[in-house]
Amino acid sequence: MVPDAPLPAEEVERIAADAAWLCGIPAPTGHEAARAAAVRNRLVELGLEPHLDAVGNVVCRVGGDGPALAVCAHLDTVFPGLEPAPPVRDGARLAGPGAGDNALGVAALLLVARALATDPPSQPVLLVATVGEEGLGDLRGARHLLETESVRALIAVEGHGIDSLAVGGVASARVRIRMSGPGGHSWSDQGQPSAVHALVAAAERVLAAAPPCVANVGVIEGGTAVNAIAERAQLLLDLRSGDPDQVGHALARVERAARVALPDGMAVEFEVVGRRPGGAAPESAGLVELARRARSAVGLGAADEQLASTDANAAIARGVPAVGIGVSRGEDAHTEHEWIAVPPIAHGAAALLGLVRRADEQRGP
């Protein structure tokens, strides 16, 4: 494949251009088809044979049949809009919602595809652009991949995070809490219980009950008019911990907190809408060591090895060795102000290629 060296400038620009192109194709979780089609077409142009699987992942097998090394980058973004919002290139920066998370990750996947198309691997590799990684996608794409393909190891590629390696999964649970009550007129029905008031109070109790898990009420919505007592309101809560047991314990506490102290006439529904497994993965040790070597071979310093929440979690849950690797560094992921730096791609993408090559050379279980 490629020698261990930072990528030449023209290759870095090619990856940045691909990231900009992909970033301009909206891909909210659950609506990844347009971006998936773009990736698929590009792989066909490379002479590869990608297909869309049953959940919408783009899956491209290289190097023959048998248990494969899966290299995954997620297609979806946290931004719900379906209007194209092309990113802005300003010198060394590419700015736009989802530029780094994960348009750049998918662009780096295309780099791996180019490398494997010209210099095929010695063992099977699956190049996969996955759906459903963000938000309530609940790793739908990665889970489906692992259920339907024999995967011997998995590399999750993210645009951000060149200074870290994901060596285990942050466990999480996503919960929807819904309040419903009688509603009414804000003046003539004063005293009737409000779903919004009950939900806000419950949110405070829930956030107080969550630690040591990290908790975030990411969405809160409800009510119909300023002068109406709300009939309905709901929130979405994200609970995370490096220790999967802590998430389980916190879920029980949070549910109790949501259900107590409700006003008469108020009903609550508590629904777990997503569960990500997590924890450290001892089976991943060999793969993590290969990632360390690939990084140092292109001149990157020691990574901050941490737990993360990526497609790798789905592999870890099944005992499949996995590691998450980042291509560059930037800021403000999951916001409209997201940006990613272009120059570090030279090292980050080279380390990714070096990791794929090393994992390909590795024999045995």
Residues that bind Zn ion (CB under 5 A): 101
User: Measured from the CB of residue 256, what is the shortest distance to Zn ion in angstroms?
Assistant: 30
Compute the least distance from the CB of residue 322 to Zn ion, in Å. 17
Q: What's CA 260's distance to the chain center, in Å?
A: 34
Residue with smaller CB distance to Zn ion, 122 or 335: 335
Smallest distance from the beta carbon of 102 to Zn ion, in angstroms?
Answer: 7
Question: In DSSP terms, which residues pair with 238 in a beta bridge?
Answer: 174, 216
- The amino acid at residue 170 is V
Q: Which is nearer to Zn ion, 159 or 222 (CB)?
A: 159
- Of residues 223, 236, 227, the one with CA closest to residue 181: 223
Dig out the tokens for 283 from the structure.
């089976």
Nearest to 124 by CA among 176, 60, 75: 60
Minimum gap (Å) between residue 334 Cβ and Zn ion? 6
Q: Which is nearer to Zn ion, 101 or 360 (CB)?
A: 101
Which runs of E-coded beta strand occur in the chain?
A: 50-52, 58-62, 68-74, 88-90, 93-95, 125-130, 151-158, 164-169, 171-180, 184-185, 214-222, 228-229, 232-241, 267-276, 279-280, 304-308, 322-326, 330-331, 339-341
Nearest to 39 by CA among 101, 113, 97, 94: 113
Closest to Zn ion by CB, 101 vs 138, is 101
Closer CB to Zn ion, 50 or 161, in the complex: 161
For residues 187, 191, 193, 196, the Cα torsion angle rounded to the nearest 10 degrees is 50
- Cα 310 from Cα 238, distance rounded (Å): 15
Of residues 80 and 319, the one with the C-beta less far from Zn ion: 80
In whole angstroms, how close is the CB of 76 to Zn ion at the nearest point? 9
Least spacing, CB of residue 350 vs Zn ion, in Å: 23
Rounded Cα gap, residues 130 and 106, in angstroms: 9
Of 314, 341, 283, nearest in space to 138 by CA: 314
Which residue, 246 or 310, is less far from Zn ion as judged by CB? Answer: 310
Cα angle: 52, vertex 83, 25; to 5 degrees:
40
**φ, ψ (nearest 5 deg) of residue 196:** -65, -45
Q: How far is the CB of 169 from Zn ion (least distance, A)?
A: 14
To Zn ion, the closest distance from the beta carbon of 161 in angstroms equals 10
Scan for tokens 């379906």, then name that residue: 82
Which residue has its beta carbon closest to Zn ion? 101
| CB-nearer residue toward Zn ion: 22 or 203 | 22
